[in-house]
Structure 1
Amino acid sequence: MEQLSFTQVKKLAEQGDIHAQTALGIRYLEGSGTEQNPELSFRWFKQAAEQGNVEAQFFLGAGYMEGIGTEKNPVLALLWFQKAAEQGDAAAQRNLGFCYMQGNGTEKSMVRAFFWFKKAAEQGNATAQYNLALCYLQGNGTKKSPTLAFQWFQKAANQDHVRAACHLGFCYMQGDGTEKNPSLAFRYFKQSAEQGYAQAQRSLGLCYMESIGTEKNPSLAFLWFQKAADQGDDQAQANLGICYMAGLGTEKNTALAFLWFKKAAEQGHAIAQYNLGICYMEELGTAKNSLEAERWLRKAAEQGYMKAQAKLEAINQTLQPFGLPSSF
C-alpha cells in the first residue's frame, strides 16, 4: 500500500479492500498525500475494524481513547483494544494493560494489567517490557521478583527504552535482582541521561560527584544536575543549590544557590526547605528574614527532617533564655 498513491488507495478502499481502508485511515490521520482529516480517518478505521482488521481495531481504540475524529469514549476504546489484543497485536495488548492499570473504561485490575503487559512484552514491545518489570519490582498483579524485574528492565533498555535504562542503572547500583556493578550503573544512567530523562541525568550527576562507576568530576556532575534541574527535578535542583553554595563544579554563588533551593523547596523537598530556611536566617543569597526562615524550617521539620527539628528547637531555646515552656 505504501507504493500506491492516495487516489489509488482511496479507490481500493471504496471497493471494500479492508487493508486499503486501514491505509486510507492512516493517510487521513497523518495528512499523507492529502489534508489531515481526523473524522474521515476515524470513519475508515471503523469500517475496516468492523470487518476484523487488527491494525484498524488498534487505531479505532486509540481514536476513542484520545478523542481523535470522535468523542472520547474509554469504554469503546477498551472494547477495540481488546479485539485487537485477542488477535495478538502487541501495541493493543500494551494499551489494554494501561486501561486495566489506570481504570480507563473498566475497573482497575493490576492482575489483568500484568497479564496483558506480559503478553505484549513477550512479543518484544519495549514499553510493555518496562511496565512488566515495574509489576515484578513492586509486586503489582504478581509476586515481587527483583530478578525478573531486572531481566525485563534489561530487555527494554536494550531496545533504548529511556526509563528502563535508568531503572537498570538503579538495579546495578543497589544490587536489586543482580550483583552490584557501579560501572554498569554508570553506563545505563548515561544511556538514559543522554536521551533526556531527568532522573537519569540527576543520577549520572551523582555518579560523577561521588565517583560511582567513573572518576570523580564535579564539573560534569554540575552539568548533569543542571540539565535535570532545568526539567524540574526537585532533587537535582537541591543538588544544584549545594553546588553553588559550596563551589562544587562551579564558582560559589549564594544568590543562585538560594534560587535553586527555593525551586526545590516549593516542590516539597525537605532538605532544600531546610537549606532555604538557613539562607533566610544567615543572609545567604537573600535578605535576612527570620519569619521566612522559621516558616521553611518548620516545613522541613514537619516532613521529619531532623536537622530542621533541631534548628527550630535551638531557636525556641534562644527565644526562651529562662527555660519557660513554649506554651507559656
Structure 2
Amino acid sequence: MRTRSGLPILALLCLLMAGAAAAQSPAAPGDDLAPARAALEDRRYAEALERLEDLAGGDSAEAEFLLGELYAHGVGVLQDFPTALAHYRRAADLGSMAGGNALGRALVEGRVIARDPVLAIEYLTRAAMSGDAQFQYDLALALDIGLGDEARPEEAATWYRRAAEQGNVEAVTSLGVLYLEGRGVERAPEQAIALFSAASERGDARAQNNLGLIYVRGEDVERDYDRAFELFSSAAGQGQREALNNLSVMYANGYGVAVDEAESLRLLELGRRAGGQSLEALLETVGFPFDSRLAVPDWDAPLGAQDEQAASYGEPVALYLTALRYLNGAGVPIDTARGVERLERAAAAGMGSAQFMLGLMYANGRVVPQDYLMAYAWISHAALRGVPEADVVRDALAAQMSVAQLRRAQQAVSDILHDQGGD
C-alpha cells in the first residue's frame, strides 16, 4: 500500500488542510478550530499542536484527525504512531471519514498495528462511500493489491472508475493498467491507451512511463520510438525510477535518440538512486551532510586551541566541528572514539545537525555498529528540528522495521527526550 510518508513540508501542509476539510463533522465547533487552522497555514506547527490538544477529547472530529496527522508525520512533535492511531480512531468514532480512511490504511499496511484486512476494508469502504475521490482510490488500491488475500480486481475497477470520474489522476492510471492487463475488466488496450494518455497530459509520471512502454513494444499500437522517448523523458524528469531506466535503454540502443553511452550510464545511476523504497539508495543519496548554517572550516588547518577549549566546555557547535575533524582526520589524527563521543554530546545538547549525523552513522553502520533503532531515534529528533531530509530518512527507516521494532524505536525517542530534560 502506498503511503504518504516522507512528504515535503509544503505537500504535507496541503494534506493537513485538505484533511481538515474532509474531517469536519456536523458537530465540529468550527470557530474553535480557526486558530489551529491559521497556525497550520502559517506552519506554526507547535502552536497548532497545542491548540488542537486543548480540543482533544471533545466532540471535534477535525481536531482529532489533525492531531493524528501531526503525530503520524512528526510535524511539530516527535513522530508517534500509536498516538496518531488513537487520534485517528477517535476521529473515526466521531464520524470523520478522513480519520477512518487513515485508520484503514494503517490496517492495510500493518507496519504500526497488526494487519487486519477485514477491518481495513470496513473502514476504507465507509470512507469511500462518502464520495471522496482519494478515499475511493485508497479502497481500490487495497482491493487491487489483495491485502494478503486474493486480489479483488473487479471491485477495484469499480472504485478506480468512481475516483477517476472525479478527476483522481492516480485512479485514471490504475484503471488503465487493469484494462491493459485484462484484470477485473475485459482487456481493452485502446481504453488503456486513452486513459494513460489522459493521465499523461495531466503530468502523471506512471501513466507516461506506461504509455511509453506501449509505444516501444508496438503490440497494441504502431511502434513509435520518438513518442516513447518524449514520454520517458517527461516521466524521468519527475524522478520516476522505471522511466529513468527505460530512458537509459533508449540512449544505450539509439531508440528515438542518438546513442550516448555516457548519458545511458548517468540515467541508470539516477534510476538506481531513485528507488524510493530502497533505504540503501536513500542513505547513499543523503550521505553525511554538513550543517549548511555554518561556515566550512579549513579542514586542512590544525585544530585551533580555541575550538578545542570551546568543545571542552560543551559548546555544541564546537563539539560538532571537532567531532568531524576527529572522525575524518581533518587537521588532527583520526580518533573515532573521541569523534563519536563529541558528536553524541552535541546531539544530546539538542543540535539537530549532530543528531542527524549520528543517526546516519547508525543507519549506515559507519564507525558505530549498524542499529536502525538508534538511527530512527536520533533522526526523529533531527526531523523535529527541521533538519532537511531527516523526515524522509526517518520514514524510510520506519518502513524497514516490524511493529515491535518500531515501538522500541519510538520508546528510544522518548528516552532521549527524557535524558535531555524534556527538550
TM-score, reference length from structure 2: 0.53
Which residue of the partner structure matches residue 227 of structure 2?
256
- The structure showing larger relative contact order (alpha-carbon pairs under 8 Å, at least 6 residues apart) is 2
Work out whether residues 132 and 149 of structure 1, in 8 Å CA contact, stay in contact via their aligned partners in 2.
yes
Q: Over residues 230-262 of structure 1, what are the superposed CA-to-partner deviations in whole Å (9 max), with x where a residue is unaligned?
A: 344332221111122234555433211001112
Which residue of the partner structure matches residue 241 of structure 1?
212
Query: Partner amino acid for 1:161?
Result: D
Work out whether residues 98 and 127 of structure 2, in 8 Å CA contact, stay in contact via their aligned partners in 1.
yes
User: Is it true that 1:222 corresponds to 2:193 in the alignment?
Assistant: yes
Q: SS of the residue aligned with 2:208?
A: helix
Q: Over residues 121-157 of structure 1, what are the superposed CA-to-partner deviations in whole Å (9 max), with x where a residue is unaligned?
A: 1222111111111222233553332322222111111
Q: SS of the residue aligned with 2:75?
A: coil
User: Is it true that 1:65 corresponds to 2:36 in the alignment?
Assistant: no
- Structure 1: how far apart are the matches of 2:242 and 2:39? 44
What is the deviation of 1:212? 1.3
Work out whether residues 150 and 176 of structure 1, in 8 Å CA contact, stay in contact via their aligned partners in 2.
no
Which residue of the partner structure matches residue 125 of structure 2?
154
Q: Over residues 41-71 of structure 1, what are the superposed CA-to-partner deviations in whole Å (9 max), with x where a residue is unaligned?
A: xxxxxxxxxxxx943221121112213xxxx
- Structure 1: how far apart are the matches of 2:29 and 2:46? 18
- Structure 1: how far apart are the matches of 2:158 and 2:174? 11
- Structure 2: how far apart are the matches of 1:77 and 1:302? 36
What is the deviation of 1:204? 0.4
Work out whether residues 36 and 48 of structure 2, in 8 Å CA contact, stay in contact via their aligned partners in 1.
yes
Query: Partner amino acid for 1:61?
Result: A
> Aligned-pair RMSD on alpha carbons?
2.6
Larger CA deviation: 95-104 vs 199-208: 95-104
- Structure 1: how far apart are the matches of 2:85 and 2:142? 21
Unaligned runs of 5+ in 1: 1-52, 305-328
Larger CA deviation: 285-294 vs 151-160: 285-294
Q: SS of the residue aligned with 1:108?
A: coil
Which residue of the partner structure matches residue 5 of structure 1?
none
User: Is it true that 1:143 corresponds to 2:114 in the alignment?
Assistant: yes
Query: Partner amino acid for 1:153?
Result: L
Q: Over residues 84-114 of structure 1, what are the superposed CA-to-partner deviations in whole Å (9 max), with x where a residue is unaligned?
A: 3322111111111112122333322111111
- Mark the CA change 1:105 to 1:297 in structure 2 (over 3 Å): closer, same or farther: closer
- Structure 2: how far apart are the matches of 1:215 and 1:251? 22
- Structure 2: how far apart are the matches of 1:58 and 1:246? 54
TM-score, reference length from structure 1: 0.67
Q: Over residues 5-46 of structure 1, what are the superposed CA-to-partner deviations in whole Å (9 max), with x where a residue is unaligned?
A: xxxxxxxxxxxxxxxxxxxxxxxxxxxxxxxxxxxxxxxxxx
What is the deviation of 1:227? 2.9
- Mark the CA change 1:82 to 1:140 in structure 2 (over 3 Å): closer, same or farther: farther
Work out whether residues 219 and 248 of structure 1, in 8 Å CA contact, stay in contact via their aligned partners in 2.
no
- Structure 1: how far apart are the matches of 2:158 and 2:186? 13
- Structure 1: how far apart are the matches of 2:267 and 2:34? 50
- Structure 2: how far apart are the matches of 1:122 and 1:226? 41
Aligned residues: 248
Aligned pair partner of 1:98 in 66, 69, 72 = 69
Kindly name which structure, 1 or 2, has the bigger radius of gyration based on alpha carbons.
1
Unaligned runs of 5+ in 2: 1-27, 276-423
User: Is it true that 1:81 corresponds to 2:56 in the alignment?
Assistant: no
User: Is it true that 1:56 corresponds to 2:27 in the alignment?
Assistant: no
